[in-house]
Amino acid sequence: MAETANIGEIAAKISKDVFRHFLWETHQKRDDNFACTNEKHLGEGGKPKDTHPGDVVFFYDDPYLGKRVYLHTDLKSYAADSITSTKLRGAFKSLCMTIECAKESSEWRKKYSVDLSEPHEVRGMLFIHNHDNGYEKPFYEAVDKMDLQALPVAPGTLLHFLGPHDIQRLYSIGNDIIRLRAGDELPKDYTFFYPDLVMSRRQGDVWGQAATIESLTGPYIIIKHGPADQHDAGYVIYYNSPGESPEEFEYFLDSLSRYQMLESSEKIRIRVTSGDVIDDLKSVFQTAKKKYAKAWGFDPAREAILDQIEIDRVTSVTSTYNPGDMGWRE
């Protein structure tokens, strides 16, 4: 029983170590249940559920929605051979019922200090950490094997999930942010950048914005920052795709252009996060810049901006949280 509790603490600790770098806030209320108010919610043995679990609630302000997003999170820490479609389906099913009740529960809102007068949205997040670092399969394959259509997802409910490889990538990005700040290449204060899109306009101040869950699982994460002691103001972009071809980077450069990031004189640093990055990464990116400049008619100003873009790979760091260590209390 004690070992199980220690394993559970791994997910809690790593979630704290990861998400603070993405400017998420964490409610102080943790590991607390709230009453189930839906008689159709059944637990083991087909008995009506009395309560729903609450491991932790993260929250941030979404710049596109103009509202606060609360992520009621189920933290799981499994050994590699325990991450199965059957186990995942059980976790997702439980989370579906939990969020359906949370969205309507005055008790839940009271526990997590939700102000009804402010626009907000309650979502669910399943956080699957692999504590023995032995899970090699693509996590999405295990999810795809589930019958997602059969899950009891209430209308209007959004569920997110982070698998072992997502968590490992975000952990490495957090470690990279620490390194850049320690080397005075990134200031203490930074923000996550959200350009105006065709169908969505950013709301609120540009500065102090957290990374949304959508950006953390998207193709890239953009940090905007002011000057640091060892680096000018600009952008740090964590690129989450393999970077295997010039065409891939051409499309990426065109996205930066559409975001008007190539129109400014601010520095752009690209940090590739994939563990399968090819050896010739910089050569491939250089080819992409030349092809993109050619498409723009070799405009000298555009070429000068492209030449200033730096690309490098992030050092992958593996979390070493150990169940035995979690048994120690300071």
> Could you state, in order of their start, the residue ranges of all structural domains in the chain?
2-168, 171-313
The strand pair at 267-272 and 310-313 is best described as: parallel
Contact partners, residue 320, CB within 8 Å, separation at least 6: none
pLDDT of residue 1: 40
Both tokens assigned to 128: 């699957």
pLDDT of residue 14: 82
Contact partners, residue 275, CB within 8 Å, separation at least 6: 316
pLDDT for 223 beyond 90? yes
d(CA 21, CA 238): 13
Query: Mean pLDDT across the stretch 106-125?
Result: 94
Query: Mean pLDDT across the stretch 74-100?
Result: 91
d(CA 130, CA 190): 30
pLDDT of residue 49: 93
pLDDT of residue 186: 96
d(CA 187, CA 167): 24
pLDDT of residue 111: 95
d(CA 29, CA 324): 25
pLDDT of residue 328: 41
d(CA 264, CA 173): 25
What's the mean per-residue pLDDT of the chain? 87
d(CA 89, CA 145): 9
Q: Over the range 126-151, which residues count as b (16 or more CB within 10 Å of their CB) and which as e?
A: bbbbbbeeebeeebeebbeeeeeeee
Burial class from Cβ neighbours inside 10 Å (0-12, 13-18, 19+) for residue 3 reads exposed
pLDDT for 265 beyond 60? yes
Query: Mean pLDDT across the stretch 258-262?
Result: 87
Tell me the CA end-to-end span of the chain in Å, nearest whole number. Answer: 20
Check residues 206 and 95 and name the one with the higher pLDDT: 95
pLDDT of residue 180: 96
pLDDT of residue 120: 95
Query: Mean pLDDT across the stretch 130-144?
Result: 82
d(CA 78, CA 131): 6
d(CA 232, CA 179): 17
Order the strands of the 310-313 sheet from edge to edge: 190-192, 220-225, 234-239, 267-272, 310-313
The strand pair at 34-35 and 25-26 is best described as: unpaired
Q: Which residue has the tokens 């009804």?
A: 116
Burial class from Cβ neighbours inside 10 Å (0-12, 13-18, 19+) for residue 194 reads buried
pLDDT for 140 beyond 90? no
Both tokens assigned to 111: 């526990």
Q: What is the pLDDT of residues 196-214, one digit of tens each?
A: 765 556 666 778 899 999 9
pLDDT for 310 beyond 50? yes
- Of 21-35, 142-156, 210-224, 234-248, give the lowest mean pLDDT range: 142-156
* pLDDT bucket at 127, cuts 50 / 70 / 90: very high
* pTM beyond 0.75, yes or no: yes
pLDDT for 92 beyond 80? yes
pLDDT of residue 330: 41
* pLDDT bucket at 303, cuts 50 / 70 / 90: confident
pLDDT of residue 242: 83
Q: Which residue has the tokens 């590739």?
A: 272
pLDDT of residue 179: 94
